[in-house]
């Protein structure tokens, strides 16, 4: 019969080595196992021609109309006047490169803010995002 005083410490050391190796290698194998699906629907159609309405105020900027993907086709998003989300923010128009669509977003010193199409459901998109101002001084 084999000497158990030598076998037990060797087995314990082997088990510890295998456990540490598994912990170190598990994140690498999980990262390789990620699957990414993308749907390519081609380049967007040409922009539409339209007349830009007058600015509603001095602090508004015009966001040019654009096509954006929705499901398996593109949808036209009308241009609109809006206020930047914070002072110094600027609009980066959506673009399409190499079969990939990149959505429009606000950028600036306080970070990026992606355009949220839920803001577009009403005519008063800025009023729903910003609290009403009370300019009266009683």
What pLDDT is attached to residue 96?
Answer: 86
| H, E, C per residue of the chain | CCCHHHHHHHHHHHHHHHHHHHHHHHHHHHHHCCCCCCCCCCCCCCCCCCCCCCCCCCCCEEECCEEEEECCEEEEECCEEECCCCCCCEEECCEEECCEEECCEEECCCCCEECCHHHHHCCCHHHHHCCCCCCCCC
Phi and psi at 6, nearest 5°, equal: -90, -40
Please state, in angstroms and rounded to a whole number, the distance separating the CA atoms of residues 62 and 112. 18
Yes or no: say if 91 and 63 are a contact pair by the CB < 8 Å rule: yes
Please state, in angstroms and rounded to a whole number, the distance separating the CA atoms of residues 102 and 94. 6
What pLDDT is attached to residue 92?
Answer: 93
Tens of each residue's pLDDT in the chain, 138 residues: 555 566 767 778 877 777 776 676 666 555 555 554 555 677 888 888 888 999 998 889 999 999 888 888 889 988 989 888 889 999 999 988 888 888 889 999 998 988 776 666 555 554 444 444 444 343
pTM as predicted: 0.55
């Amino acid at each position: 019969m084999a000497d158990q005083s030598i076998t037990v410490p060797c087995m314990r050391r082997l088990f510890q080595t295998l456990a540490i190796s598994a912990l170190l290698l598990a994140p690498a194998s999980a990262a390789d196992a990620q699957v990414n699906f993308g749907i390519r629907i081609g380049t967007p159609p040409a922009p539409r021609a339209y007349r830009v309405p007058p600015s509603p105020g001095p602090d508004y900027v015009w966001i040019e109309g654009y096509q954006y993907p929705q499901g398996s086709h593109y949808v036209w998003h009308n241009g609109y006047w809006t206020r930047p989300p914070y002072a110094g923010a600027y609009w980066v128009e959506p673009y399409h490169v190499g079969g990939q669509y990149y959505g429009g977003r606000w950028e600036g010193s306080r970070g990026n803010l992606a355009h949220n199409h839920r803001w577009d459901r009403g005519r008063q998109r800025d009023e729903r995002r910003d609290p009403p101002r009370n300019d009266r001084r009683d």
